């Protein structure tokens, strides 16, 4: 029995995307939470909590994009053609954030508000557009003769736009959990206050998307509710309800680490719902990962490089978080 190279690369890309959503999600969430905090020193603290790790988090986005280009060129071409505008906007948002990280600490106090706004706008744009991309992906792409046949603005429809709003809530909740874990005193208490409404909004968004998706996509409804699939997928909504309840309880009892971990679990469950909805298609609604894959020789050659680079990224990621572990306070500064 041979090695299923397309499946291995599908798993690598799914893993890279999940790592990006989890790890870059909370630092994008920091930017989304900036408007709720007016103190310049607290904003310094918020940015310093993610400054040592934010650029490493985006390594997973690069790995996922490069892997998609090499392993599934058809999917890369279709997705890039269909989502050229939102993906370009996402890159501009990430650029604004990256510049703001460095220039905010080097600017004079009277000009610092400019970089605060750049950080907020970049975070909002990048997050919202990522949600739009996810929604458009679930919605599917019309493809004929291995070519995208839709319009440049097919993504500009209610479902993808609502997914953009939903990801704003998800990343803000991740950022809130991160700040609860990394800070102390009044900033931490402020995040406890913000977390509660975000949890209810997050659960509401998950409920709406969970109803909207099968109602508007019969193929997904068939996949969800047919037996034995229903029995396999039933733990996902049950775990969402349990996670939401535990998250509210952890915020109420002022836990330090549990809110962030449970927020991560909620986001992971949402991501698993996406995987369940589209499997085994890499270009929904009809092109599977096998049909979109590159030749086996290319997949095998790339896999050798991936098996070398992925452990390096994992070790670097672990080490950076280990070195900068613990609480951040006003006396410490990354910059």
Task: Give the DSSP letter of residue 256.
Answer: S
Q: How does pLDDT run across 118-161, given as a tens digit for each residue?
A: 888 999 999 999 999 988 888 888 888 878 888 888 889 899 99
In a domain, 331, yes or no: no
How many helices and strands (H and E) does the chain possess?
14, 4
Q: Taking the CA of residue 148 as centre, how many other CA atoms within 13 Å lie in the half-sphere pointing to its CB?
A: 21
pTM reported for the whole predicted model: 0.89
Region at 254 (left for phi over 0; alpha for psi -120 to 50; beta for the rest): left
Please tell me the distance from the alpha carbon of residue 38 to that of residue 78, in angstroms, as a whole number: 43
Query: What are the angstrom distances between the C-alpha of 174 and each of 22, 113, 223, 268, 310?
Result: 8, 24, 30, 11, 24
Range of the domain at 43: 5-324
In a domain, 34, yes or no: yes
- Amino acid 185: pLDDT: 80
- The answer, yes or no, to whether residue 274 has pLDDT greater than 70, is yes
Please tell me the distance from the alpha carbon of residue 272 to that of residue 304, in angstroms, as a whole number: 27
Q: What percent of the chain has pLDDT over 90?
A: 19
In a domain, 256, yes or no: yes
Of 324, 330, 331, the C-alpha closest to 27 is 324
Query: pLDDT-derived band of residue 184, with 50, 70 and 90 as boundaries?
Result: confident
In a domain, 33, yes or no: yes
In a domain, 335, yes or no: no
- The answer, yes or no, to whether residue 332 has pLDDT greater than 80, is no
Quote the number of domains for the chain.
Answer: 1
Give the pLDDT mean for 247-267.
89
In a domain, 49, yes or no: yes
């Amino acid at each position: 029995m041979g090695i299923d190279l397309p499946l291995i690369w599908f798993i690598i890309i799914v893993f890279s995307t999940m790592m990006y959503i989890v790890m870059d999600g909370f630092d994008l969430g920091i930017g989304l939470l900036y408007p709720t905090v007016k103190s310049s020193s607290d904003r310094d603290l918020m940015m310093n909590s993610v400054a040592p790790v934010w650029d490493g988090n985006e390594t997973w986005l690069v790995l996922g994009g490069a892997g998609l280009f090499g392993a599934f060129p058809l999917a890369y071409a279709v997705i890039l053609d269909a989502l050229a505008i939102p993906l370009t906007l996402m890159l501009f948002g990430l650029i604004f954030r990256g510049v703001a990280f460095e220039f905010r600490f080097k600017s004079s106090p009277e000009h610092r508000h400019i970089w605060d706004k750049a950080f907020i706008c970049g975070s909002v744009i990048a997050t919202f557009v990522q949600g739009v991309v996810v929604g458009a992906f679930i919605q599917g792409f019309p493809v004929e003769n291995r070519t995208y046949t839709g319009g440049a603005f097919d993504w500009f429809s209610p479902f993808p736009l609502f997914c953009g709003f939903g990801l704003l809530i998800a990343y803000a909740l991740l950022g809130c959990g991160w700040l609860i874990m990394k800070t102390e005193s009044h900033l931490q208490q402020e995040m406890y206050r913000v977390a509660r409404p975000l949890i209810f909004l997050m659960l509401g968004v998950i409920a709406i998307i969970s109803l909207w998706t099968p109602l508007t996509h019969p193929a997904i409804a068939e996949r969800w509710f047919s037996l034995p699939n229903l029995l396999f997928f039933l733990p996902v909504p049950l775990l969402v309800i349990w996670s939401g309840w535990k998250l509210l309880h952890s915020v109420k009892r002022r836990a330090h680490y549990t809110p962030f971990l449970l927020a991560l679990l909620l986001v992971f469950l949402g991501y698993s719902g996406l995987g369940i909805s589209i499997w085994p298609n890499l270009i929904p609604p009809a092109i599977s990962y096998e049909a979109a894959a590159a030749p086996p020789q290319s997949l095998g050659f790339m896999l050798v490089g991936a098996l070398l680079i992925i452990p390096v990224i994992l070790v670097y990621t672990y080490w950076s978080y280990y070195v900068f572990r613990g609480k951040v306070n006003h006396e410490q500064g990354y910059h």
